[in-house]
Amino acid sequence: MRSTRPLLVVDGLRKLYPIGKQRIWRRGVAPSFLHAVDDVGFTIGRGETVGLVGESGCGKSTIVRLIARLLDVTDGSILFDGAEIGKVSARRFGLAPQRANIQVVFQDAADSLNPRFTAFRAIADPLLRLQRLSGPALRSRVEEVARLTGLPLELLSRFPHQLSGGQKARVGIARAIAVEPQLLILDEPTSALDVSVQVLILRLLQDLKAATRSLVPVCQPRPQCRAASVRPHPRHVSRPYR
């Protein structure tokens, strides 16, 4: 029987960054903080798509890194499939079983790919680290997700500098879905692409949504958001506080 429990529950999420030098704090001056994320909460059901929408600089990418456990949380709760993962440090979470269940497609595919890795090695990386695949099973899975994302198999031997922007975006998506995550976070995956390529990538994301995978597309307020998401969750601009 399929569980009715929400896949992700975020409550009171906060991320603060100190402003100024700590030596000033020791002199009795109250420290200042940038509230990059302040009291954010939302729920994502299984197979649901929730769009995180807001202007540039409002903290969307920080939220992405918090729920993906790439940044440590200042305060708040992140429940994934009923388990509290917000209290687990980002470093420890990299070795946790839930790592394979939460994957991210980053905003700039070129920056997120290791320039020394071929497309095959980039897609294979999470399979090697998280599922210990090797040999024919590894090659089969890499080729399977390459086909799923529309990446020609002959491009798997190429390095990032030999790929177009759209091809690098497909490598990034293939890498993220290779381990079959329950939650796929998409941090403005089309922002650095030409309009014609954006359309192709958005169609691919629609296909991923149809596969009953929970998605969190992150975007600025524009028509592409409607193509990628079902339920919007607006964000407001971050601000410094004392």
Domain spans of the chain, in order of start: 8-111+181-241
Q: Domain spanning 8-111+181-241: which superfamily?
A: P-loop containing nucleotide triphosphate hydrolases (3.40.50.300)
Where the chain has pLDDT below 70, the residues are 1-3, 20-31, 190-197, 209-212, 219-242
Whole-model pTM over 0.75: yes
Separation of CA 21 from chain center: 31
Separation of CA 101 from chain center: 11
Task: Tell me which residue has tokens 């409002």.
Answer: 58
* H/E element, 11: strand 8-19
First to last CA, the chain: 50
Q: What is the pLDDT of residue 51?
A: 82
- Amino acid 169 reads A
Q: What is the pLDDT of residue 12?
A: 94
- Which percentage of the chain shows pLDDT scores above 90? 47
Of 116, 96, 101, 92, the residue nearest 8 (C-alpha): 101
